[in-house]
């Protein structure tokens, strides 16, 4: 697992623009190297505003969208089209505006599918298994880029502090009783997040500053799940100044004037 690097941008707006530029470049590089790429999306404020910034730049046309598999790190267990679903936000911010291959967009199924949360999680794990190749050495693809928002409590995906999902070795699990609504969710587990080549934790705002510090310094993943989110090759904490405001001097590199 990689040691995190911390990059600090001036504010949330510039952070979203900078992450969008980084994302386009990362996808172009991955597709140039391998022909196609796997991207894992997150919900939440920064996750969706980053996608909106990708949609807003002409450089998005450098990505070969039909040759991209799109996954979600977690989903709120709500019906298709519900505005609170991470999928709904991602589609309206970006996916509805680019030429993705519908067969390569992989939303987690909600209750309108007729599945319960456990069945939906098991189905997603199976979809991931089918997409993995021998060179992935495991039950999920080696995602090229996996983006994560960060909750003020340190949660990433739908892995909340102290909850059983953090101990689960299955690739994808149902989460019940989440402290943030809705209580029922589907989430990739830590081993699946760690299968990614690059993990990007994206956070803005002072309310995230304590979680950022703990995730980088003092905690284990059971207390602060973000402390366990690390990529195989690279882990980036992409922050605005407010979210970085509790880091000790020297931890983190200012990336914007």
Query: Measured from the CB of residue 165, what is the shortest distance to ligand LXAUTJHC in angstroms?
Result: 13
Query: Measured from the CB of residue 76, what is the shortest distance to ligand LXAUTJHC in angstroms?
Result: 6
In the bound state with ligand LXAUTJHC, the residue whose beta carbon lies nearer, of 31 and 42, is: 42
Q: Which residues of 186-206 are buried (b: 16+ CB within 10 A; e: fewer)?
A: bbbbbebbbbbbbbbbbbbbe
Which x/- pattern over 58-97 shows residues binding ligand LXAUTJHC (rule: CB under 6 A)? ----------------x-x---------x-----------
Query: Measured from the CB of residue 240, what is the shortest distance to ligand LXAUTJHC in angstroms?
Result: 12
Contact with ligand LXAUTJHC (CB under 6 A) among 21, 45, 115, 251: 45
Sign of CA dihedral 229, 213, 86, 41: negative
Distance from chain centroid for Cα 39: 9
In the bound state with ligand LXAUTJHC, the residue whose beta carbon lies nearer, of 31 and 184, is: 184
In the bound state with ligand LXAUTJHC, the residue whose beta carbon lies nearer, of 76 and 230, is: 76
* Distance of alpha carbon 248 from alpha carbon 103, whole angstroms: 45
In the bound state with ligand LXAUTJHC, the residue whose beta carbon lies nearer, of 179 and 254, is: 179
With binding defined as CB under 6 A, does residue 171 bind ligand LXAUTJHC? Answer: no
With binding defined as CB under 6 A, does residue 44 bind ligand LXAUTJHC? Answer: yes
In the bound state with ligand LXAUTJHC, the residue whose beta carbon lies nearer, of 36 and 152, is: 152
Q: Which part of the chain contacts ligand LXAUTJHC (CB under 6 A), choosing from 40-48, 88-96, 115-123, 229-237?
A: 40-48
In the bound state with ligand LXAUTJHC, the residue whose beta carbon lies nearer, of 45 and 138, is: 45
Query: Measured from the CB of residue 151, what is the shortest distance to ligand LXAUTJHC in angstroms?
Result: 5
Footprint of ligand LXAUTJHC on this chain (CB under 6 A)? 42-47, 74, 76, 86, 148-149, 151, 157-158, 180
């Amino acid at each position: 697992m990689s040691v995190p690097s911390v990059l600090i941008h001036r504010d949330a707006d510039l952070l979203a623009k900078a992450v969008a530029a980084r994302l386009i470049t990362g996808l172009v590089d991955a597709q140039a190297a391998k022909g196609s790429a796997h991207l894992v999306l997150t919900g939440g404020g920064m996750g969706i505003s980053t996608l909106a910034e990708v949609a807003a730049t002409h450089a998005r046309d450098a990505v070969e969208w039909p040759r991209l598999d799109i996954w979600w790190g977690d989903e709120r267990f709500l019906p298709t089209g519900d505005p609170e679903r991470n999928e709904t936000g991602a589609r309206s911010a970006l996916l509805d505006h680019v030429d993705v291959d519908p067969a390569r967009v992989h939303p987690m199924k909600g209750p309108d599918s007729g599945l319960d949360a456990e069945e939906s999680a098991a189905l997603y794990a199976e979809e991931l298994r089918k997409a993995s190749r021998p060179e992935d050495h495991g039950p999920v693809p080696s995602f090229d880029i996996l983006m994560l928002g960060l909750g003020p409590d340190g949660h990433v995906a739908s892995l909340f502090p102290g909850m059983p999902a953090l101990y689960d070795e299955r690739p994808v699990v149902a989460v019940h009783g989440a402290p943030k609504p809705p209580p029922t969710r589907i989430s990739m587990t830590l081993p699946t997040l760690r299968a990614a080549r690059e993990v990007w934790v994206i956070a803005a705002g002072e309310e995230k500053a304590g979680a950022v510090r703990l995730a980088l310094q003092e905690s284990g993943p059971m207390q602060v799940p973000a402390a366990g989110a690390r990529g195989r090759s690279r882990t980036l904490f992409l922050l605005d100044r407010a979210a970085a405001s509790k880091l000790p001097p020297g931890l983190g590199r200012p990336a914007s004037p």
